[in-house]
């Protein structure tokens, strides 16, 4: 007999005989003559109430199974006389698939701290909050594919193992098949015959593909060994990276704004119940924030002006502000939360603080870079128009002390049929922080990778 999802049972318009439901017991209440189980199968936030009559076959099968146990119930969906739910399932047959010891099952309480739940990442998806988060994560992934597909972008897969550092920031994890117990690392003897790393970004390869297919995007895991133990950095995170041939910086910002808006609208449309949970328990202003992200045009401001706004604000910051210094999260959040009160695209950053591939502006001091900053998070997106002029690109390599020869294939796209092009990277976990109001990146991915954290 096919199992009926709790989501569908709860939505039923009519009573139904003979449903099979399987899930995990969230709570058990023993009353006079009956036991009520709240059953959750992960298909939605809601639980299905199961009624087990004492003295019946299902009651003896249930025994003392309680919170955390996996059970299979066959029964009839009937109007629930009790308050709080429309339907309940009257058990006719019941099987305990997997009991859970009540003394040691860690999810007995109604609410647990985020910290505690991080320590049991293998079980926390069974809580309301993480179940909701993971369903939203899934819907947002699919919305991203819908968005690009509707606009003629091709979904491409860029390599995870790479020989180059796209961001030039030296935050690479090494990949090797050598026995590391030996005294020296002999690259020649290693698997690829040269140093290999986990990619920090699929951009360089996405550029090659955009210069063939026109409009492409990647959506995959990226890795950074930056040892920054912040609530916004993970060592492994997912990035969405569109790349467009024949596009400039303005079109790049337009696409970024359109994407973020479409995702805000889409998630409100597809996940109202799960979002409501975050609005109630995590971030009271969540729905207003999402409405604002979806509805109001993003502010747009050159970096030089952003610096002036910060300098004149009179606000006290931990990190210094000044032309040539990178904006820190506190500055980014101040700009979009206090000054503009909405998402903000900052563009034209000083060339010294940005990677080699960004297009040099005619002022020779700034590059056609853009960051999208959002409330509660700070930087959500980083992108740029790419340097398509061969000589300028070569001199940028030299400026940054990079060996252009190793990027000969990248330079080839500037030798043969070069054209203006632009793209960006959106940090998927940061998007989830924006959408749920969760303030720590460790709580928006099932099994976070951060410094000294690799248990699950
Ligand atoms: O600004 P970033 O470093 O840009 C790039 O990697 C470009 N190659 C992207 C491109 O143009 N195709 O990273 C892009 C975004 C950031 O804005 C941020 O949201 C996220 O990736 N990000 C991180 N998210 C979580 N943990 C980290 N350690 C992150 N580093 C960057
Ligand atoms: Mg960035």
Single pTM value for the model:
0.97
More confidently predicted of 91 and 110: 91
Asked if residue 183 has pLDDT above 80, the reply is no
Substitution candidate for ligand 1 out of 199, 227, 230, 239 with most atoms within 8 A of CB: 239
- Reduced to 3 states (helix: H, G, I; strand: E, B; else coil), residue 33 is coil
- Say which CATH superfamily domain 6-98 falls into: Nucleic acid-binding proteins (2.40.50.140)
DSSP labels, 52-97: EETTSHHHHHHTT--TT-EEEEEEEEEE--STT-SEEEEEEEEEEE
pLDDT > 90? residue 116? yes
Question: What residues does ligand 1 touch, defined as CB less than 6 Å away?
Answer: 166-167, 201, 203, 224, 226, 233-234, 237, 239, 241, 379-383, 423-425, 427, 429-430, 441
pLDDT of res. 233:
96
430 C-alpha to ligand 1 centroid (Å): 10
Ligand nearest to the CA of 201: 1
Give the separation between CA 434 and CA 232, rounded to whole angstroms: 11
Residue 109: per-residue pLDDT: 81
Give the residue, by CA position, lying nearest to ligand 1 atom 2: 382
Name which of 130, 224, 179 is nearest 442 in CA terms: 130
124-443 CATH choice from 1.20.1600.10, 2.30.40.10, 3.10.580.10, 3.30.930.10: 3.30.930.10
Q: Is 390 within 8 Å of 411 (Cβ atoms)?
A: yes
Q: Among 162, 234, 237, name the best residue to mutate to test ligand 1's pocket (greatest count of ligand atoms within 8 A of Cβ).
A: 237
The Cα 11–Cα 273 span in angstroms is 13
pLDDT single digits (tens) 321-366: 999 999 999 999 999 999 999 999 999 999 999 999 999 999 999 9
Which of 323, 325, 321, 299 minimizes the C-alpha distance to 310? 321
Q: Where are the domains of the chain?
A: 6-98, 124-443
Give Cβ neighbours of residue 364 (< 8 Å, ≥ 6 apart): none
The mean pLDDT value for 434-439 works out to 98
Identify whether the C-beta of residue 22 lies closer than 8 Å to the C-beta of residue 71. Answer: yes
How many whole angstroms from 357 Cα to the centroid of ligand 1? Answer: 15
d(CA 128, CA 134): 10
Atom of ligand 1 at shortest distance to CA of 371?
A: 17
Mean pLDDT of the chain: 96
- Residue 52 CA to ligand 2 center (angstroms) comes to 56
pLDDT at 1: 63
């Amino acid at each position: 007999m096919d199992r009926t999802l709790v989501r569908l049972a709860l939505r039923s318009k009519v009573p139904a005989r003979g449903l099979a439901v399987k899930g995990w017991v969230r709570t058990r209440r023993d009353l006079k003559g009956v036991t009520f189980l709240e059953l959750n199968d992960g298909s939605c936030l809601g639980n299905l109430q199961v009624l087990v009559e004492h003295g019946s076959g299902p009651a003896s099968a249930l025994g003392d199974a309680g919170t955390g146990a996996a059970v299979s119930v066959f029964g009839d969906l009937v109007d629930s006389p009790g308050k709080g739910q429309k339907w309940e399932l009257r058990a006719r047959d019941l099987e305990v698939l997997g009991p859970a010891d009540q003394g040691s099952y860690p999810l007995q309480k109604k609410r647990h701290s985020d910290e505690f739940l991080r320590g049991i990442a293998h079980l926390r998806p069974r809580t309301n909050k993480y179940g909701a988060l993971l369903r939203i994560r899934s819907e947002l992934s699919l919305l991203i594919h819908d968005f690009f597909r509707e606009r003629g972008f091709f979904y491409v897969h860029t390599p995870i193992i790479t020989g180059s550092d796209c961001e030039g920031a030296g935050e690479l994890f090494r990949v090797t098949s050598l026995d590391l117990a030996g005294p020296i690392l002999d690259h020649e003897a290693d698997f690829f015959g040269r140093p290999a790393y986990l990619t920090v970004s699929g951009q360089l390869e996405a550029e090659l593909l955009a210069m063939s297919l026109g409009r492409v995007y990647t959506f995959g895991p990226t890795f950074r060994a930056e040892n920054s133990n912040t609530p916004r950095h993970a060592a492994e995170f997912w990035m969405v990276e569109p790349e467009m041939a024949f596009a400039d910086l303005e079109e790049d910002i337009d696409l970024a704004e359109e994407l973020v808006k479409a995702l805000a609208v889409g998630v409100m449309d597809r996940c109202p119940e799960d979002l409501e949970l975050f609005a109630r328990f995590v971030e009271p202003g969540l729905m207003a924030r999402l409405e604002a992200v979806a509805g109001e045009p993003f502010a747009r401001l050159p970096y030089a002006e952003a610096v002036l706004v910060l300098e004149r604000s009179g606000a006290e910051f931990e990190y210094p502000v000044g032309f040539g210094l990178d904006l820190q999260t506190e500055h980014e959040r101040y700009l979009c939360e206090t000054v503009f009160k909405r998402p903000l695209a900052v563009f034209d950053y000083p060339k010294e603080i940005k990677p080699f591939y960004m297009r040099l502006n005619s002022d020779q001091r700034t590059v056609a870079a853009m960051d999208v900053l959002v409330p509660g998070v700070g930087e959500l997106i980083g992108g740029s128009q790419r340097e398509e002029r061969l000589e300028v690109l070569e001199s940028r390599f030299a400026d940054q002390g990079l060996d252009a020869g190793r990027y000969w294939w990248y330079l080839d796209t500037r030798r043969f049929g070069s054209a203006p092009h632009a793209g960006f990277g959106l940090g998927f976990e940061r998007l989830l922080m924006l959408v749920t109001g969760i303030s720590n990146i460790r709580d928006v991915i099932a099994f976070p990778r951060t410094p000294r954290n690799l248990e699950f």
